[in-house]
Structure 1
Amino acid sequence: MSTEQARPERSTPHALAPPSWLLEGLRPSSAPIPWAAVVRAAVALAVPLAVGFALDEPEYGALVSMGALSGVMADTADAYRMRVYNIAVPQLFGAVGVALGTLVYGHGWLAVAVLTLVALVSGMISSIGQVASVSGLLLLLNAVVGAGLAMPRPWWIAPVLLSAGGLFVLLLSLLGWPVRGRAPERAAVAATYRALADALEAAGTPGPGYEERRQAVTQALNHAYDLVLARRARVHGRSPSLVRMLAQLNVIIPMVEAAPVAHQRGRPLPPEIPAAVRELADAVEEERTGTGELDLGLPAPSGPSERAIESALRHAAAIVHAPDPDPYHVDDRLGRPAALRTRARHAVRDVMLSGDSWRYGLRLALCIGLAQSLVSLVEVERSYWVALTVTFVLKPDFGSVFSRAVLRAVGTAVGLVLAAGVLGEVPRGWWDVPVMLVLGALIPAFSAKGYAFQTAAITPVILLLSDLLNHQGFDLIRPRLTDSLIGCAIALVAGYLLWPESWRTRIGDRLADAVDDAARYVERSFRTDLGDDPEALRAARVARIQARRRIYRDLSSVRSEFQRALTEPPPAGTRAAAWWPLVVAVERIVDATTAARVRVNHGAEPPRPEEVERIAAHLRELASEVRDDLAALPVRPRPEDSDEEGVLGPLRQEVVAARAIASDQV
């Protein structure tokens, strides 16, 4: 497949048609609706209201539902243990935030200063990771709400009620833990086998199918390792089922490495091979293990690629159907997380010393400070909604700030239409419970389809809860729209246009780093200084696998950056579309390196050290040119470097293709 086939298509639009970046954001995602989360959200938001009405304390019920809304938005993890962290930790930060906001409520410029400082801290800790990002978001959101909305007294009631709502969501999400146990981890491992089967089925066929399915394998493998190793870090050596799942993940690596070899041969694999991998996936998910090796029914291999896959497949079948493996002979170096103390130390260091962390914290603090100063100087109804909008929009780790501002305005307008019907036609009281049951169910369903859809679903829920707290009814509609537009404008100007790095995309730097990593991976794959020491060879193999997985993870992040940039207006969006083929080219270089290593393992003559060094040098030149934004024409490989003989022939072709793509961008 040519890398040009992977370039995002941008047809010339009609003069009156909306811009492509807006249409991209409004196009619903194909992600499936999480029905379990839909049910949890409906129950979590409606039950507190029912209890509040039953106790004749609707305001308390509304605050618990507001806390449940935060828990619903954070309830995105698969594994039960990860749900505890994803929901409980942000709720703790949210409780601190609402307590701070409540204490400065009505204190004018003191509230402005405190919220600005909270915004700085929120922005800085958001750079640590996903849980920290959501925690920072709730810290600031609840501080803004506490500072702008009269809360029940004394000050500790609001934190307790909001936390109770989040913990109620956590309780609902953990109901299946006693009966389902480690089903999410098993499902993730089985999904990795099925993704590999799809990739093997597409191997050797024309078109972009193989590359897309290989990316799906990488995502599934990373997700499965994250789930299994996050749990194994706490129960190392004491859980036979987790040890078995880790062994099942480890033995899929040789099949993943053999897939590029099968693709390079240019003809499809026998259908028995992907069918056997799917049978292993079923065995993993149904726990049909320890029953003896499965009869795979594979045909006789017809070449080195099929021999490599057959060998890896038979080894995987033996592990999948073996008795419990010895926990001290299962290698978890392929993804084992560092100790908690080490990760905490690195997180603090990254927050305090990272330029990106400080830049984002200062951007968020500037915008929140401006929003709070504005509403302190100019009378604005429901003024805290301005800062809330800024907080939601100005989350670069959640997507493009520009497109989020525009999509939030669109989503808010749509949500207000629905809210107008609810506030105008439904009488306040017990009728709010079934209405909230329906509106709550829409949040996870719409969130799966995109940011604008999520905003449209959340808006009527927030307005209904706000009405229960301040009893303004239909009069909430106009200030909600006005405040949201003001918040979007502040985020666009002070959080986007004034920071050139946000609209002059820096994807070239990350892509250049990935090319440098590819050069090191080429050198690591063909080392000649290891001798015959089995332990050294084993350590080198593990290091090579870790390096390949790290490159694919980084390239996945680069892809996300490109997808984010594609939703930006020109010049960032058009520049990202032009560079997209080079991302595909780098992935193909890594695949070609892996395929060459597999062929050497199965008898092909190893490349000469000078060949390896020459290809690595070309890749480093390419990385330098990408990092410099191609200020000079790239130096093309010399004719003798394009010789297609030898095990590195396909790799040379991919490097030449990547250099040609880079030349086109000058």
Structure 2
Amino acid sequence: MSREFPVSLTPPDWLVRNLRAQQAPVNRPAAARAALALALPLALGLAFGRPDYGALAAMGALNGVISDTAAAYWLRVLNIAVPQLFGAVGVTLGTLVYGHGWVAVAAVTGVALVSGMISTIGAVASVSGLLLLLNAVVGAGLPLPGAWWLPALLTGGGGLLVLVLALLAWPLRAGVPERLAVADTYRAVADLLAGCAGGSEAAYDDARHTVTGALDNAYDLVLSHRARHHGRSPELTRLIAQLNAVTPIVEAAPAVHLAGRPLSDRIPAAVRAIAAAVETGRTAPLPLRLPAPTTGTARAVDHALRHAADVVTAPDVDPRGVDDRLGGPAALRVRTARAARNAVLSANSWRYGLRLALCIGIAQALVSLVPVPRSYWVALTITFVLKPDFGSVFSRALLRALGTVAGLVVAAGVLAEVPRGWWDVLVLLLLAPLIPALTPRGYGYQTAAITPVILLLSDILNQQGTDLLLPRLVDSLMGCAIALTAGYLLWPESWHTRVGARLADAVADTARYVETAFADTTDPAARARMRRRLYRDLSGIRTEFQRALTEPPPTGRRAAAWWPLVVAVERIVDATTAARVRVKHGSAPPSKAEIDQVARQLRDLSAGLRRAVTLVPVRADLTGPAGSVLEPLRQEVATARAITSPHA
């Protein structure tokens, strides 16, 4: 009798994580801008008998649509205009070396090095580096119409059209995005308080991470805007004061969660009422119908809510009393010089630049030796997949391949059935909104949305119809293979878990936070900044873990082994904050010996993480007085010490 072995049809976890769509609302204004910005240049080109010019301007508009991610209007100027300038330089360089063989290979490889290095500076520099290389590859691999300067003018004009459309409502809605960001922070805090007790640990963790993200976004948005005004804007000063006022509520949340008693529904409702007051700019007193507090934790929540309501509705805010965590803003030339110096001197920037240059050089050399139709697509694929700050190279290569296949299915129908001409304008009106709509859901979805648009514009320039489809698939797969081989497998740091050092730093910072939290001499604002910085660092570490979990073994398996310790450290910070709130509202403070004991254990944990050795639980050193406010904290530290971590 034959023996049957069950075959599991369940896909591996890393593959499921890669294919899972992220939940995100559709940005309808961005979708409308994309439709108009891509269709209008092509319509003008057709009207004047130069559809190739219109297609090139639409490609520039596509770059602008990809860059159009900022909420604040003045940030849109930076996010769209600066990358367009770099894109214009890239397409000009590419056009000048087109058809010059190995000179073109060397030029594009050099551009790739610069692109990779500047990508480490920041978000705007990253997109600028992307468009610099992207347009250089297109210019060097595709015969573009007109004189050498015309492609830069057309692509830049298309991008600036997106910027103009994005700024149309600025006179009517100036300051609205900043107010909405602050109001959304209060709403996220209301959701956190609503789920503090009675819900699962996972739901509480998710709500707390949402609050951290909302706070980071609001502070970044408001403070960066205030830097331009050098602290002189009363409206921005008021928004900072309103953001600072939410901190005591956030700090009270861990105490409520550890107490395990559900709050009255009136408390989250009061926070949402404060959020509405922020959004509308209300200055009249806000009546709060709060239940009478009966415990120290309830008093902390009550006091924090009343303070926030007073600050939010205050008609005037003294800027001298606002802690904005921001020193004197440096001049633009100083910040530019500092960023350039960091890019040139940073080992990380050189490493990323050399990796990108190696892959682009291999691609350009390969297509110079082997005839490949539409060869520039190989380098374009590498450009998108190997961006060092865009996440896992392995995941992006996989999603790029799958997204390309899905996009080619749509493109096949468009190229085979839709006649060239004015029908292309209608197709762009339908396809372009999908780009901003699908981009937040994941890289594979973005690729699937962009592919048919790129192929349609390429066909207008080259008139090859469905003959474009197979070369596009082959070139994309070649680019993914080069990126995975020369940009991923050859670099051990790509497939080793690299977050141990960052997590060790966070644990050491937590030890300092424990010591600072109960020191009477500590400035409350400094303590709040320390706590927020810790949560922000842990949020970044969590993001790195989530990226690592999308990779196959051994990387994904190692990341999964580290994960419980990340959660444990977050709960240690929560327990410290909760203990501080209890002390502030009546509980007996811990002794210095108790504080030193916990801090010492955390430093031992940090040292163990740096050595990447197995951590042995040391429970005997974590005893303390019964009923102490540090008892929950000691339990969380003991849990973290009990987690073994034999990670390489």
Unaligned runs of 5+ in 2: 1-5
Report the AA paired with residue 127 of structure 1. T
C-alpha distance 246-14 of structure 1, shift in aligned 2 (>3 A): farther
1:656 aligns with 638
Q: Provide the rounded CA distance (Å) in 2 between the counterparts of 1:302 and 1:218.
A: 29
**Displacement of 1:331 after TM fit?**
2.0
**Displacement of 1:80 after TM fit?**
0.7
Report the AA paired with residue 619 of structure 1. L
1:541 aligns with 524
Q: Which deviates more from structure 2 when the two are superposed, residues 180-189 or residues 21-30?
A: 21-30
Cα deviation code 1:277-334 (max 9, x no counterpart): 110111111222x21x211011110111111111111111111111121233322127
Cα deviation code 1:194-244 (max 9, x no counterpart): 100111111122412222111111110111111111111112343222222
Report the AA paired with residue 543 of structure 1. A
TM-score by length of 1: 0.93
Is the counterpart of residue 616 in structure 1 residue 599 in structure 2?
yes
What is the correspondence of 1:280-291 to structure 2 with a 5 Å cutoff? Answer: 280-288=274-282, 290-291=283-284
**Displacement of 1:76 after TM fit?**
0.8
Contact in 1 for aligned 2:254/2:574 (Cα 8 Å): yes
Q: Provide the rounded CA distance (Å) in 2 between the counterparts of 1:240 and 1:397.
A: 36
Q: Which deviates more from structure 2 when the two are superposed, residues 319-328 or residues 34-43?
A: 319-328
Q: Provide the rounded CA distance (Å) in 1 between the counterparts of 2:8 and 2:349.
A: 40
C-alpha distance 556-93 of structure 1, shift in aligned 2 (>3 A): same
Identify the match of residue 469 of structure 1 among 461, 466, 476: 461
Q: Provide the rounded CA distance (Å) in 2 between the counterparts of 1:107 and 1:18.
A: 47
Identify the match of residue 44 of structure 2 among 46, 51, 58: 51
C-alpha distance 478-665 of structure 1, shift in aligned 2 (>3 A): closer
Q: Provide the rounded CA distance (Å) in 2 between the counterparts of 1:322 and 1:506.
A: 47
2:254 aligns with 260
Q: Provide the rounded CA distance (Å) in 2 between the counterparts of 1:339 and 1:648.
A: 45
Report the AA paired with residue 647 of structure 1. V
Contact in 2 for aligned 1:68/1:169 (Cα 8 Å): yes
Identify the match of residue 597 of structure 1 among 574, 577, 580: 580
2:392 aligns with 400
1:7 aligns with none
Report the AA paired with residue 126 of structure 2. S
1:434 aligns with 426
**Displacement of 1:16 after TM fit?**
3.9
1:269 aligns with 263
**Displacement of 1:21 after TM fit?**
1.7
1:199 aligns with 192
Cα deviation code 1:46-99 (max 9, x no counterpart): 011000000111111001100000010111111111111111111111111111
Q: Provide the rounded CA distance (Å) in 2 between the counterparts of 1:260 and 1:466.
A: 55
Identify the match of residue 446 of structure 1 among 438, 449, 459: 438
1:571 aligns with 554
Report the AA paired with residue 190 of structure 2. A
1:9 aligns with none
Contact in 2 for aligned 1:229/1:337 (Cα 8 Å): no
Q: Provide the rounded CA distance (Å) in 1 between the counterparts of 2:329 and 2:395.
A: 34
1:425 aligns with 417
**Displacement of 1:335 after TM fit?**
8.9
Report the AA paired with residue 116 of structure 2. G
Cα deviation code 1:467-506 (max 9, x no counterpart): 1111111111111111111000000100001011101121
Cα deviation code 1:402-426 (max 9, x no counterpart): 1111111111011111111111111
1:502 aligns with 494
Contact in 2 for aligned 1:622/1:634 (Cα 8 Å): no
Q: Provide the rounded CA distance (Å) in 2 between the counterparts of 1:67 and 1:250.
A: 41
Q: Provide the rounded CA distance (Å) in 1 between the counterparts of 2:402 and 2:205.
A: 35
C-alpha distance 504-216 of structure 1, shift in aligned 2 (>3 A): same
Corresponding pairs, count: 642
Cα deviation code 1:159-207 (max 9, x no counterpart): 1111101110011111111111111111111100010011111112241
C-alpha distance 335-512 of structure 1, shift in aligned 2 (>3 A): farther
C-alpha distance 373-605 of structure 1, shift in aligned 2 (>3 A): same
Contact in 1 for aligned 2:558/2:647 (Cα 8 Å): no
What is the correspondence of 1:320-331 to structure 2 with a 5 Å cutoff? Answer: 320-331=312-323
C-alpha distance 629-339 of structure 1, shift in aligned 2 (>3 A): farther
C-alpha distance 664-490 of structure 1, shift in aligned 2 (>3 A): closer
C-alpha distance 360-447 of structure 1, shift in aligned 2 (>3 A): same
Contact in 2 for aligned 1:512/1:627 (Cα 8 Å): yes
Tell me, what secondary structure is at the counterpart of 2:432?
helix
Tell me, what secondary structure is at the counterpart of 2:228?
coil
Is the counterpart of residue 355 in structure 1 residue 338 in structure 2?
no
**Displacement of 1:337 after TM fit?**
6.2
C-alpha distance 76-492 of structure 1, shift in aligned 2 (>3 A): same
C-alpha distance 173-526 of structure 1, shift in aligned 2 (>3 A): same
Identify the match of residue 68 of structure 1 among 31, 56, 61: 61
Cα deviation code 1:381-421 (max 9, x no counterpart): 00111000000100232121011111111110111111111
Contact in 2 for aligned 1:255/1:313 (Cα 8 Å): yes
**Displacement of 1:644 after TM fit?**
4.7
Q: Which deviates more from structure 2 when the two are superposed, residues 174-183 or residues 53-62?
A: 174-183
Q: Provide the rounded CA distance (Å) in 2 between the counterparts of 1:335 and 1:227.
A: 16
1:94 aligns with 87
Contact in 2 for aligned 1:335/1:546 (Cα 8 Å): no
Q: Provide the rounded CA distance (Å) in 2 between the counterparts of 1:655 and 1:81.
A: 45
What is the correspondence of 1:35-434 to structure 2 with a 5 Å cutoff? Answer: 35-208=28-201, 209-288=203-282, 290-291=283-284, 293-333=285-325, 340-341=332-333, 343-434=335-426
Q: Provide the rounded CA distance (Å) in 2 between the counterparts of 1:268 and 1:336.
A: 43
Identify the match of residue 514 of structure 2 among 511, 518, 522: 522
Tell me, what secondary structure is at the counterpart of 1:301?
coil
1:6 aligns with none
Identify the match of residue 634 of structure 1 among 616, 631, 634: 616
Q: Provide the rounded CA distance (Å) in 2 between the counterparts of 1:585 and 1:67.
A: 47
Is the counterpart of residue 583 in structure 1 residue 583 in structure 2?
no
Q: Provide the rounded CA distance (Å) in 2 between the counterparts of 1:557 and 1:256.
A: 19
Unaligned runs of 5+ in 1: 1-12, 531-536
Q: Provide the rounded CA distance (Å) in 2 between the counterparts of 1:94 and 1:640.
A: 58
What is the RMSD computed on CA atoms of the aligned residues?
1.8
Q: Provide the rounded CA distance (Å) in 2 between the counterparts of 1:622 and 1:205.
A: 31
Report the AA paired with residue 445 of structure 1. A
**Displacement of 1:124 after TM fit?**
0.8
TM-score by length of 2: 0.96
C-alpha distance 590-342 of structure 1, shift in aligned 2 (>3 A): farther
Q: Which deviates more from structure 2 when the two are superposed, residues 366-375 or residues 343-352?
A: 343-352
Is the counterpart of residue 647 in structure 1 residue 629 in structure 2?
yes
Report the AA paired with residue 563 of structure 1. Q
Q: Provide the rounded CA distance (Å) in 2 between the counterparts of 1:522 and 1:14.
A: 51
Q: Which deviates more from structure 2 when the two are superposed, residues 31-40 or residues 519-528?
A: 519-528
Contact in 2 for aligned 1:141/1:391 (Cα 8 Å): yes
Contact in 1 for aligned 2:617/2:642 (Cα 8 Å): no
Tell me, what secondary structure is at the counterpart of 2:587?
coil
**Displacement of 1:635 after TM fit?**
4.9
Contact in 2 for aligned 1:284/1:320 (Cα 8 Å): yes
Q: Provide the rounded CA distance (Å) in 1 between the counterparts of 2:623 and 2:333.
A: 48
Contact in 1 for aligned 2:116/2:349 (Cα 8 Å): yes
Tell me, what secondary structure is at the counterpart of 1:396?
coil
**Displacement of 1:338 after TM fit?**
5.5
